[in-house]
Structure 1
């Protein structure tokens, strides 16, 4: 399966063709929790019951009763892309090669009923040297956006959009040991642990590594976060581009359905993040969707895994082009998550942000008004 490389130029004429790559996104798959009042502070909720101990992964049991979970807010939002652009020009020039969303850009989405922004950014810009201080200018941009968004009542999911890599070297290698990944998250947690509206998304779409290596890295990152005293929600992706459709597959090594049961969190405030697109190979490169039911079909087994093991999930990326098949497929997928809200904590559309131009998945508003896909999401935002 092929996946989308990042945009290298902010000129959004580059996004006009439907088959062009997605900025910072890889494609693939999904999110749990019982809905309560939107905007509730997640880390102040009562902790859920202890997670089921690791065991051999079992196929979803359609007859199993839903696992009781503590009430949690349902996150409904969008990835505001831009800070992860320009990977080939690291560190790049802010405003020319990459951009953070304006502090007031969240207002449109909040008025529509969204309560979450997923914020992609690049590890290399934030931490130019492993195990060293975060870049002060980049950190200030990150903190400024987070402060403005959360002060307005919107939660922010931090997203190092790096595919489990730093300068192309995979986490767990000699160049990027797991301790360096843990160091990044220790430093981020120290900056944001006092803001319960901040969610810590460990990494975007790990791939081309052993699943066990990724699980060990994830556990190191989680432990480093909790060691700071942070109680924030942590989202953990799977290996193999974290596709919901491939959660039980072994094409990338040990299936996520088996290996991810070894992920542990002393804070018991964990969500498993998957991504899911509806085109032929789930990569999100095309504006076409396989069928009106493909979204539900690709989420169903992961939903069953969440239910069987008492886990919660997040659909961290999904999208579809402006056509009737995609509209019906996206609507059915959102309804599936709503119907299984004891397992699904929420979702974030890919994508919004100021540099998308005519990119076919963008829901950034135009001067003429809302994008068509925003109208698909609206019934699920109230």
Structure 2
């Protein structure tokens, strides 16, 4: 597990074998140090995981080894951060506004080149496929989650590029949206096409897919849901290999303008960047600079957040059961610093790992860091529940009332330190 070091003008004594900030310091099968570096506190999350957190964190702190807890009372204190915003180690209330999972199925059959075999879609609703996505969402809400991302193929909604919504397919997808809204949760509409339609990238030189055709889709969706305050609009899932990021930003700007002009003036809109909207490269690949120019029609950036994704396996593909990084030092710490310095916020709408101990360790660390930086991170959604089989590597589908290991250990916010 990786730890990060923050540059400081003050010399800090490093304890021998001490665990770095946000590192694991206890839990079943954990055999490392239970002492935190720099006066940070080993804070109990669950039997599998305890973590080194700032001394300002509230709650009960425990040293945990082989599942045995020793409780001590923690003291709340005020952490003073440097005037240089990049030095801040945490910020916000420590409570995220949005936490949940993806409810996949309407996106099945979509490839990363933007082709979608719509006959492979599995609507995650009992009346259409036998998959009880509505029951899953009710279960997750009962455990404290409040957000669900609902991926869907563009071609399923409008079989003709630039055309009107297909009545039959729209009715099915709308049923899932309504089932989500009926739980009282926030519901993210996610067009799952990788900034493409059948291999052609939107609004790129020499391409055949125009911004206007994409705007037509979003205008129709936003018009139908303009009065739904708990709808969130996820402009596009994972753009990648987009040659001109500024042209992509212009497309996103047109979508934002269309959504607001359709009457959806208050809902959150998620702005996806290049390179699979990777949290690690969102700044370095130019996405932050380009999409930072996107504004509401009134010139504000209210309810416009960067959409980021990050997995925890060896190649960030989300295709391996085991996890190898907690993404704190290389990804979320520098991103938090950039967001804080530039007055922006981000939403981690996809992250996941296998139901194994390595992923419990790394995912809990990652999400705990995000939770303790709630001024710049709005929330997260795990990948994935919905129509996935139990054999899927990153399965988060509950088995009746029983959650998967990763969900029960890390994805419920109240279980995080």
Q: Say whether the fold is shared (TM-score over 0.5).
A: yes
- Cα deviation, 1:275-311, whole Å, max 9, x if unaligned, reads 00112221212122224x4345321121112111111
Change beyond 3 A, Cα 1:381–1:179: farther
Aligned to 1:273: 307
Asked if structure 2 preserves the Cα contact closer than 8 Å seen for 1:76 and 1:381, the reply is no
Change beyond 3 A, Cα 1:107–1:311: same
Give the distance between the partners of 2:356 and 2:384, measured in 1 at CA: 17
Aligned to 2:380: 347
How far 1:322 moved relative to its partner?
2.6
Aligned to 1:135: 166
Give the distance between the partners of 2:360 and 2:117, measured in 1 at CA: 38
**Partner of residue 82 from structure 1, selected from 105, 115, 118:** 105
- Per mean C-alpha deviation after superposition, the further-off stretch among 352-361 and 154-163 is 352-361
2:207 corresponds to 1:184: no
Q: How many residue pairs were aligned?
A: 315
2:362 corresponds to 1:338: no
Change beyond 3 A, Cα 1:67–1:77: closer
The runs of 5 or more residues in structure 1 that have no matched partner are 1-59
2:318 corresponds to 1:318: no
Give the distance between the partners of 2:150 and 2:405, measured in 1 at CA: 22
- Cα deviation, 1:18-49, whole Å, max 9, x if unaligned, reads xxxxxxxxxxxxxxxxxxxxxxxxxxxxxxxx
- Cα deviation, 1:323-354, whole Å, max 9, x if unaligned, reads 33321111111111111111111000000013
- Higher strand proportion (structure 1 or 2): 2
Give the distance between the partners of 2:161 and 2:211, measured in 1 at CA: 11
Give the distance between the partners of 1:67 and 1:110, measured in 2 at CA: 26
Change beyond 3 A, Cα 1:183–1:201: same
Asked if structure 2 preserves the Cα contact closer than 8 Å seen for 1:296 and 1:333, the reply is no
Other structure's SS at 2:305 match: strand
Asked if structure 2 preserves the Cα contact closer than 8 Å seen for 1:85 and 1:98, the reply is yes
How far 1:378 moved relative to its partner?
5.4
The runs of 5 or more residues in structure 2 that have no matched partner are 1-83, 126-132
2:148 corresponds to 1:113: no
Other structure's SS at 1:262 match: coil
Give the distance between the partners of 2:157 and 2:172, measured in 1 at CA: 10
Q: TM-score, normalised by structure 1?
A: 0.76
- Provide the alpha-carbon RMSD of the alignment: 2.5
How far 1:148 moved relative to its partner?
2.2
Question: Which is higher, the Rg of structure 1 or of structure 2?
Answer: 2
Change beyond 3 A, Cα 1:372–1:68: closer
Residue correspondence of structure 1 range 1-382 to structure 2 within 5 A:
61-63=85-87, 74-87=97-110, 92-93=118-119, 97-101=121-125, 102-173=133-204, 174-209=207-242, 210-231=244-265, 232-250=267-285, 255-266=286-297, 268-291=302-325, 293-367=326-400, 369-377=402-410, 380-381=413-414
How far 1:379 moved relative to its partner?
5.1
Q: Which has the higher contact order (CA 8 A, sep 6+)?
A: 1
